[in-house]
Amino acid sequence: MALNDTLNNSTLTDKMPVLFVGHGNPMNAITDNRYSQSWKTIGEQLPVPNAILCISAHWLTKGTFVTMAEHPKTLHDFGGFPKELFAVQYPATGAPEYARRLISAIKSITVQEDFAWGLDHGAWSILKNMYPNANIPVFQMSIDATKPLLYHFNLVNQLSELRNQGVLILASATSNQAIRLIYQRKT
């Protein structure tokens, strides 16, 4: 069943969904194609979130971090693309209050605050099409590259309460990144 059919035929509750979106080539951010059009449709059909938590395979760390910036910068964490892609800005505000709620919600580890990271292209390339007005606060959580898949599965299960508070959780990677993350650290 197509995603559009699923969204149209489901009863949406107050609990926001968790989405995994393969963002593919960064050029999808500025190209009108089936990917960018699908992201736009998803944004139009979902309830408007209070905030968005992005978990991108482009922010790999040792330890788990969450962004606290009031105005996260748009990161152009790639090379070899046209200048038009480097000119893209996604000026969403940050969500430090929701980031603090995330830190409180996770009981199994210490999540560290980060004020330096912004929104990497695994976040803004999708959000630019889902929410083109950049009017929803956004924050990111890193992926601890030293931990296995089960660790991350257990970690995100602790975020359910954020979803009840109107936080959309958006995870993204390219298909190659997702496969590497899964098989790099077998449980």
Say if residues 68 and 96 touch (Cβ distance below 8 Å).
Answer: yes
Question: pLDDT of 32-57, one tens digit each?
Answer: 999 899 999 999 999 999 999 999 98
Question: pLDDT of 101-158, one tens digit each?
Answer: 999 999 989 999 999 999 998 999 999 999 999 999 999 999 999 998 888 888 888 9
Q: Regarding the domain with residue range 17-184, which homologous superfamily does it belong to in the CATH classification? A: LigB-like (3.40.830.10)
Q: Using CA atoms of 103, 108, 141, 40 in order, give the dihedral in degrees to the nearest 10.
A: -100
In terms of C-beta distances under 8 Å and separation of at least 24 residues, what long-range contacts does 29-34 make, across chains too? 29/85, 29/88, 29/121, 29/124, 29/125, 29/126, 29/128, 29/129, 30/84, 30/85, 30/88
List, in sequence order, every beta strand (DSSP E) within 35-151.
51-61, 64-67, 111-114, 138-144
pLDDT at 170: 93
Altogether, the residues listed in the chain come to a count of 187
Question: pLDDT of 56-70, one tens digit each?
Answer: 988 999 999 999 999
Say if residues 82 and 105 touch (Cβ distance below 8 Å).
Answer: no
Query: Of 38, 69, 66, 37, which is closest to residue 144 (Cα–Cα)?
Result: 66
Query: Of 122, 126, 138, which is closest to residue 60 (Cα–Cα)?
Result: 122
Average pLDDT of 154-176? Answer: 86
Query: Of 122, 25, 144, which is closest to residue 76 (Cα–Cα)?
Result: 122
Is residue 33 within a helix (H) or strand (E), and if so which, with residue range? none
The full set of domain ranges for the chain reads 17-184
Question: pLDDT of 1-35, one tens digit each?
Answer: 344 454 444 444 579 999 988 877 887 888 899 98
Question: pLDDT of 73-112, one tens digit each?
Answer: 999 988 888 899 899 999 999 999 999 999 999 998 999 9
> For residue 18, what are the β-bridge partners?
169
Distances (CA, A) of 11 to 47, 100, 118: 11, 30, 34
pLDDT at 174: 59
pLDDT at 179: 42
Query: Which amino acid is it at 12?
Result: L
Task: Tell me the pTM.
Answer: 0.85
